[in-house]
Amino acid sequence: MRIRAYRLTSLDLGIDTREEKGHTLPTYQYACTACDHAFEAFQSFSESPLTECPECKGEVRKVYSTVGVVFKGSGFYKTDSVTKPAAKTE
């Protein structure tokens, strides 16, 4: 696991990864509840979340950013969610 200092901005919407020993590691963002220090940590999925701030040893929480989703096509609601009318019988 590697930790680097990080300043959170509204532009940080992408997903960052790091290659280490042939494996891609996701980046997790953390913020300290005591001193407001923000930082990133490259961790594998199996590692436990960090709990201690590297600056003041206070409690940290994961920061979840927004995800950009673009739906393309004729409309997912129209094609997937709406019940189709019953067939007419004479």
The pTM assigned to this predicted structure is: 0.54
The 3-state secondary structure of the chain reads: CEEEECCCCCCCCCCCEEEECCEEEEEEEEEECCCCCEEEEECCCCCCCCCECCCCCCEEEEECCCCCCCCCCCCHHHHHHCCCCCCCCC
- pLDDT of residue 12 exceeding 60: no
**Domain range list for the chain:** 2-81
The pLDDT assigned to 49 comes to 93
Per-residue pLDDT of 44-75, as tens digits, reads: 888 999 999 999 999 999 999 887 887 776 66
- pLDDT of residue 11 exceeding 50: no
